[in-house]
Copies of this chain bind each other. A is one copy, B any other.
């Protein structure tokens, strides 16, 4: 069944644009929304985000950590949120940043891109164990039309302690992008995560490194980058960038989310 984000990306952009809204029921976000810091609060919060996002945008991104902190009951809530968002026509990027080797990576692939209760349209993964180690998720993404976003350059200023590292003059962010292009071969199977806050050059990347790749770009809104600057930041790669906003969408209250999302759509020129 080919239904993932990769297979649907062009039609999503045509109907709703590329904006992605994060679903981040952190302890702080629940408190600010006047909700209890428990699974009931997380479910109410997540449902409000999904309701505000539908049909304004085409993509949502639950941050798995904020559900995982409640253990199995938190995962139960996440399953409901993923299912309801997909039933409402949204593509779901599970922001899990998983990464392991061999049969263990198969386990993560099954969890997020298989037919189980967490089945999503895309997954974020971390490349520290190498690219070949991630092959089980790439294979399953290929079969299901999903997209695997590999962390390339992240939005936190201190990421350079690791991401400045290089092999034969190529930085890790550039190596990740190169690998993603090779593995994708022009499809949407493998994309990259590139934070919008630091700028490509400061991350050791050029727009050419991202050529043809789907790029998930957190860092807009609360983290500091403006959507109006997206083409300044990403240059020739802009057309395939999925900008993601999270905290800033909810910070004026759940009731104001539709207005906040509309504001970002205007900033994007949509």
Min CB distance A128 to B, Å, is 5
Cα A58 to Cα B107 with chains together (Å): 26
Asked if A101 and B71 make an inter-chain contact with CB atoms under 8 angstroms apart, the answer reads: no
Asked if A79 and B68 make an inter-chain contact with CB atoms under 8 angstroms apart, the answer reads: no
Asked if B76 and A162 make an inter-chain contact with CB atoms under 8 angstroms apart, the answer reads: no
Cα A117 to Cα B68 with chains together (Å): 10
* Copies of the protein in its oligomer: 2
Q: Does A175 touch B at the CB level, under 8 Å?
A: yes
Cα A98 to Cα B102 with chains together (Å): 17
A residues 127-172 near B (Cβ < 8 Å) are: 127-133, 151, 154-156, 158-167, 171-172
Q: Does A28 touch B at the CB level, under 8 Å?
A: yes
Asked if B103 and A26 make an inter-chain contact with CB atoms under 8 angstroms apart, the answer reads: yes
Q: Does A73 touch B at the CB level, under 8 Å?
A: yes
Knowing A71-B79, A128-B151, A129-B156 are in contact, say whether A65-B108 is a contact too (CB < 8 A). yes
B-binding residues in A (CB < 8 A)? 24, 26-28, 63, 65-66, 68-76, 78-79, 97-108, 110-111, 114, 116-118, 126-133, 151, 154-156, 158-167, 171-172, 175, 179
